[in-house]
Homo-oligomer: A and B are copies of this chain.
Amino acid sequence: MREYIKEHWQDFSDLLRIKTIAAQHIGIEETSTWVAQAFRNLDAKKVAVWDDQGGNPVVFAEFTGQSDKTILFYNHYDTQPAEPLDQWATDPFAVTVQDDHIFARGIGDDKGDLIFRLAWVKYHQERGDLPVNVKFYVEGEEEIGSSHVVQYTQAHQADLQADAVLWEGGAKNEAEKLAIVGGLRGIACLELTAVSANVDLHSSKASYAESAPWRLVKALNLLRDDQTNRILIPGIYDDVRPLTPAEQQQVATLDFDAAKVIAGEGLKRPLLTDTPRTDLTNQPTITINGITAGYQEEGVKTVLPRLATAKLDFRLAPDQDPQRIPDLVRAYLDQNGFTDIKVEYIVGQKGYRSDVNHPFVGLVCDTAREVYGPDSYQYILNSFGAGPAYAFGDLLQLPVLGIGIGYAGSNVHGANENVRLTDALQAVEHLELVAQKFAQQ
């Protein structure tokens, strides 16, 4: 099979040659049509392009296998923009193979994962021996927040029934260990706005007039204790489910080399925590993504600004409801006399964490050990970033596991995005073993 995949992944590489930029509304129809046609060419039992819930269409496909087990793949056909183009050594919308590397926008996130999964299906369809039933949910707005995923998964839950979900992808980390990702943190993005007057005033009036930047600074200051990195908003930790002993064991195995992190990122301050593995996995954070107020050019303008805004994101533990965050912030600010600060919810996603005791988790880890070697993978309870896994996990009550073809140098979202063919072939080998063992259960 390895030789077959090595030869035939290029049967699907045209997907990389289509420019599909969700943020710029580029190539959505062309790409979704291409994906649906690829499924039809593989003799799928069912192919559907769903657009009944708005947003970019979702391509669904279903293949019949030799067992009654069903694996649902989540992938997405949209990518990040390729700009700035001058940082690319190759054409991002060509497919450039150099030694073991394949360069193209989307090869790491997420067209590449889809391509190698399609090649794997093709291999089995030609032989009529797909080990399990396979379903694909391929969406087109992951890079802009998957804002319709809950509607689509709920509206089409009959089609989406499965026994396990394999998430869009995964990667080897810097220590060349495969990360098997069992979930995602949640996120809530808020904007806080202070308005102090109808116009910017001459700053001499600071003798009697409050200004927006001071209101904002004083409000922000209330939200977090910088000594402990604790969020000070009452109620925010209520839904943080403590890690079980089994989960704690998993967390303890995470690679985290503090000295390397500090040097690599050039951190100017000590780490905020002695327990980074646990905190990355299970503690909410509050980040000021940006502040804008008043005069920001060269030199001096002695103005008392009327307007100040801050963009915040809260990374959430998997059980926290992002929509509750603005209410908690609102109540806390009100309670402290900051009723004048406007709090807006911009966007958010709930987190998700697969049950670490579910047999499918064990199966994926055991097969990874076989394919990658005993010390060559790590199970991550939930990735530190966000994503729409909850829309599948909560709905289907299943583990959602990310395994894929990337590596630490894949430059996902950046220039010169690439994967290594060896990793991709290994990922297909792993997928094959997962499917075979799952069929036998």
A contact set with B: CB distance below 8 Å = 145, 185, 187, 189, 195-199, 201-211, 213-218, 220-221, 224, 226, 229, 261, 265-269, 271-273, 276, 279-280, 283, 285-296, 299-305, 308, 310-311, 313, 315, 340, 346-347, 384-386
Contacts and interface: CB of A to CB of B under 8 A. Distances in A.
Given A211-B288, A213-B291, A215-B226, 19 more contacts: A185-B204, A201-B265, A206-B285, A207-B272, A207-B276, A207-B279, A208-B280, A209-B267, A209-B272, A213-B288, A213-B310, A217-B217, A217-B221, A217-B291, A288-B293, A289-B300, A295-B311, A300-B313, A302-B386
Contacts of A288: 211, 213-214, 217, 293-294, 305
A300 B209 contact: no
B196 A267 contact: yes
Nearest to A301: B289
Given A201-B265, A279-B207, A294 B299 contact: no
Given A198-B266, A315-B204, A308 B287 contact: no
Contacts of A202: 384-385
29 contacts: A195-B268, A197-B267, A202-B384, A203-B313, A204-B285, A205-B265, A207-B272, A207-B279, A207-B280, A207-B315, A208-B271, A208-B276, A209-B267, A209-B269, A209-B272, A210-B269, A216-B291, A217-B221, A289-B305, A290-B295, A290-B301, A290-B305, A291-B294, A291-B296, A294-B311, A296-B311, A300-B313, A300-B347, A301-B311
A287 B315 contact: no
A187 B202 CA distance: 13
B197 A272 contact: no
Contacts of A302: 187, 189, 287, 289, 313, 386
A197 B289 contact: no
Main secondary structure of the interface of A (DSSP, over half): mixed
Contact of A291 (B269, B289, B293): B293
A1 to B, nearest CB: 36
Contacts of A300: 145, 189, 289, 311, 313, 346-347
Shortest 6 CB-CB contacts between residues of A and residues of B: A198-B266, A290-B294, A204-B384, A213-B288, A206-B285, A290-B295
A266 B204 contact: no
- Most central of A195, A265, A315, A384 by chain B CB within 10 Å: A265
